[in-house]
Structure 1
């Protein structure tokens, strides 16, 4: 689906060198611009409007030192976040985006609070395929084992990031989930139980089976209890990295949302084989995920591709944001065939519907 380029075809050597310097200094720019945002400098410029604010006036406010203002605003100037007009700093469009765009703010917080320190270990993590940056947050084999115990602000930023990209899609895809009138639905990778609650509320007769690590199911149990839908929910604690961890059988629909990207291709193949074995006759597997190759806009593909290093250094060491063809290929090895594909769900999701080979109809 994505057939555009991230940079223009005709690029001069000088322009290419400038772009290379932007990459070389990207960590510096990130921290300085974030400082200008978090400390209120950008908001002060927004409040001043098109006339902007002089450096002396900003210093006179007493909120920042002249030194801090110069360092943060000059980097922001170089990054196109602010500009100078008649000696005054004025907020540019990129600066307004940082101040007002929720997705930008969530991405900033996620990369700073969850990823930044651990990404220093990216080279070793890639070489060894282990999340060697994870100790910056806690002592676990994978980040998923410690989600409920993450220190703040990493915990809040991680869940804000996860829920922003997943929750917005739930109302839109529930008709797809129930298109085949399933009675038993399994939510693999149930996380905090938000999808299961939405599904139980959408269809009062459905029975939900939640599969996740014990720590996550404990959180999901509270979510279900608070929503008053726990009577139709069944919790199955599983570590799906264990190939011997089987799944409850007889499911009409198995649902996975932003789940398989947490695993290596070998682990995905194993999970899909077990999921296929858990389907009832004519049952279907629905996978909703963020595939960088199925994005309408380069901005979405850019963000998704650059989330993969988080999976390497912080989450598992061997997972990533995949292309849709990877899932389709691995599902085929598990005896599943692609039935339909639906793109442009919420911000950047696609929904792949699979059925057992010669075992399902199009919907």
Structure 2
């Protein structure tokens, strides 16, 4: 996949067209979102190969003829839809790009995340880059990071954030658990537990294992509710903390440390600080498992692009200082703190993630 970043083979005329898509990107995004929200793409898809006229689309929407016309015309330019050859009046059919917009879960999750979490705040990206602060977070309130405000932001936005977060990790758990439980485990420390989805999966997988949940107060409350709803309270301990505080202490009775999409929430120096804390409660038998989508370990350019773009969400919205890391940078950063990578599993479970297994150097 990296070979694609070494070449620039696109024809000049095509490159110019791609540049126009960037120039009009906010308009393009909102138009595509309207084609979805007004159900226009679904109406066209349901018309089948014969297509549907603008007049018949109008009968199934609340839009004016003018409103529908401007959306259809830009959608043709974006290849979301196509015109049936020799149709008079024009009949529209769904294009391949339009198909993915309404039928592909990856695209759906990304669109909702960008619309509900990123769109307004990204106007402040330039300020965020200059100030090393998430200046775009102000659209939600006065928070230091999005994690501290996550339990307070509007429900629709919070759902899009959680759907985005879960989409990129949930499918990895099924493939990760057999690796983790290749040997008997007693207690898993889930750092950055979020909604406790991984811990619940581990508790279901092994009837004897216990879990120690580490996260901010608000996230621990969400996790606790999910644990109680699944009747696992007797095998779980909660440790609400900000792991970046010097006086926060991790439990020292765990034989597995699990971090899923956690380290990408921190800068390089913060990652080193966290790993030093992990090292202080680990021994030679402790397995540290880190699950991350590494953009340079992807099979397809679309996946790499999505991960690269997500870095700018961290810049402008989440915290102002972290990113989605490439493999070598993350590996080297962790190993500099006295760890050794002993196993690695890329695109685990046919997903976007790499599972990295570290142990401390002895």
Deviation digits for residues 264-312 of structure 1 (CA, Å, limit 9, x no counterpart): 1111110011111111342121100110011111111111111111111
TM-score with structure 2 length normalisation? Answer: 0.95
Cα deviations across residues 308-346 of structure 1 (Å, max 9, x unaligned)?
111111100011110121221111121001001101124
Shifted more, 38-47 versus 55-64: the winner is: 55-64
**Higher mean Cα deviation, 176-185 or 291-300?**
176-185
- Unmatched 5+ stretches in structure 1: 359-363
1:74-85 counterparts in 2 under 5 A?
74-85=73-84
Listed as ranges, the matches of 1:1-363 within 5 Å are 2-5=1-4, 9-61=8-60, 63-85=62-84, 86=87, 87-346=90-349, 347-358=351-362
* CA–CA distance in structure 1, aligned partners of residues 61 and 8 of structure 2: 48
Tell me the matched-pair count.
357
Quick one: distance in 2 between partners of 1:29 and 1:167?
30
Shift in CA distance, 61/201, structure 1 to aligned 2, threshold 3 Å: closer
RMSD over aligned Cα atoms: 1.5
- Relative to structure 1, the CA distance from residue 212 to residue 61 in structure 2 (aligned partners, 3 Å threshold; closer, same or farther) is closer
Q: Is the 8 A contact 1:36 1:72 kept in 2?
A: yes
Deviations 1:61-105 (A, max 9, x none): 463211111111111111110012222222111111112111111
List gaps (5 residues or longer) in structure 2. Answer: none
**Structure 1 62/13 Cα, relative in aligned 2: closer, same or farther at 3 Å?**
closer
C-alpha separation in 2, matches of 1:15 and 1:208: 53
TM-score normalised according to structure 1 size: 0.95
Structure 1 distance, partners of 2:35, 2:7, is 30
Per-residue CA deviations over 1:146-199 (Å, capped at 9, x if unaligned) read 112220320111111111111111111111122232212100001011111111
